[in-house]
Amino acid sequence: MAQQNKEKKTRNFRLTLVDDKTHKHLWTAHFTRVSLIVFVISVLVMLSAAVYCVIAYTPVRTFIPGYPDAHSKRAAIQNAIRIDSLENVIYRWELYSENLRRVVDGEEPLKIDSLINAVQTARADAPDAAELLRKDSLLRENVKEEEEFGISARGKRDLPIEGLHFFTPLKGVVSQGYDANIHPYIDITAPEGSVVKAVMDGTVIFSGWSEDAGNTIQIQHESDIVSIYKHNEKLLKKVGDKVTAGSPIALVGNTGTQTTGTHLHFELWHKGETVDPTLYIKF
């Protein structure tokens, strides 16, 4: 009786493919309910793993709505850098405007350590003398470099970038102009192989390959000015080389993934911020 109950509980199934004309058995599969469930689960797991691999390791993931691509990540990093720079500029201008107001009103200018205490907290206890001296020294050095509080030396202050002469890096057509938020550089189209020249005397601080920018060269100039030349076909200078204004440094090309044609991607930086090259250079 027990043997009969066991045989009733175990049910076998058969799936057969038969030729409709000849009635010949082409394929037969025997299975139970348990084996069918295991097979279905295995197929689902393998299918899920395959979909995950395709999305995780191929460019298909960039087509998913909301998924950040390389351009979005690069834009986010650039925006974070700009925000940090703007915060520093706003803080410096707050210090400058406060002292300027006091000077105009005939009052005694605030001391640097007083401004630090006011920014930190109005109810704070007397700060530690050593810590205050250290912060005061750092801020005084920064102010001395930028000369924002040097009222007596105001007649000697100037804007060095406006007074400098820049050599045209490439004779061509500006295909896309400067936009501080979206396109903080310019693109210059010219025939392939045209000579790219240094805009000023300086020293090459980078000369090599980048996946996005292709053959890239960067030059450090005086007055905290840096010029960057991307998508070149060939680089003529290496890191550490001294260059003079108008000397050949590269040949125009179409290298890198972030390019759609032969052109020169040109950037001009002054004191850590991008500036519009067309304001100082005639193309």
pLDDT at 248: 95
Q: Tell me, what's the pLDDT at 154?
A: 41
The pLDDT assigned to 85 comes to: 75
Q: Give the whole-angstrom CA distance, residue 258 versus residue 271.
A: 26
Report the pLDDT value the prediction gives residue 266, as an integer from 0 to 100: 96
What is the dotted CATH code of the domain comprising 173-279? 2.70.70.10
In the predicted model, what is the mean pLDDT of residues 157-161? 55
Q: What is the mean pLDDT of residues 254-280?
A: 92
Question: Where do the domains of the chain lie?
Answer: 2-57, 71-156, 173-279
More confident residue, 180 or 130: 180
The answer to whether residues 198 and 241 touch, using CB atoms and an 8 Å cutoff, is no
Can you give the pLDDT at residue 68?
61
- Model confidence band, residue 135 (pLDDT cutoffs 50, 70, 90): low
Q: Which residue has the higher pLDDT, 14 or 185?
A: 185
Among the residue ranges 110-114, 123-127, 171-175, the one predicted with the least confidence is 123-127
How does the average pLDDT of the chain come out, rounded? 79
How much is the pLDDT for 254?
A: 93
Of residues 19 and 226, which shows the higher confidence score?
A: 226
**Residue count of the chain:** 283
Query: Of 56-60, 85-89, 118-122, 273-277, which range is least confident?
Result: 118-122
**Interatomic CA distance for residues 10 and 219, integer angstroms:** 80
Task: Using the predicted structure, report yes or no on whether residue 130 has a pLDDT greater than 80.
Answer: no
Q: What angle separates helix 112-120 from helix 129-146, to the nearest 10 degrees?
A: 110
Q: Is the pLDDT of residue 255 over 90?
A: yes
Would you call 2 helix, strand, or coil by DSSP? helix
Report for 7-11, 54-58, 190-194, 199-203: range of highest mean pLDDT: 199-203
Residue 240, amino acid: G
Mean of the pLDDT values across residues 259-276?
92
What share of the chain in percent tops pLDDT 70?
A: 73
Q: What is the pLDDT of residues 62-92, one digit of tens each?
A: 666 666 666 666 777 777 777 877 877 787 7
Q: What is the DSSP string of 16-59?
A: EEE-TTT--EEEEEEEEHHHHHHHHHHHHHHHHHHHHHHHHHSG
Task: Judge if pTM exceeds 0.85.
Answer: no
Per-residue pLDDT at 145: 60
99-119 pLDDT tens trace: 777 777 777 766 655 545 554
Q: Which residue has the higher pLDDT, 112 or 131?
A: 131
Report how far residue 96's alpha carbon sits from residue 90's, in angstroms, rounded to the nearest whole number: 10
Q: Is the pLDDT of residue 123 over 90?
A: no
pLDDT at 217 over 80: yes
* Average pLDDT estimate for 249-253: 95
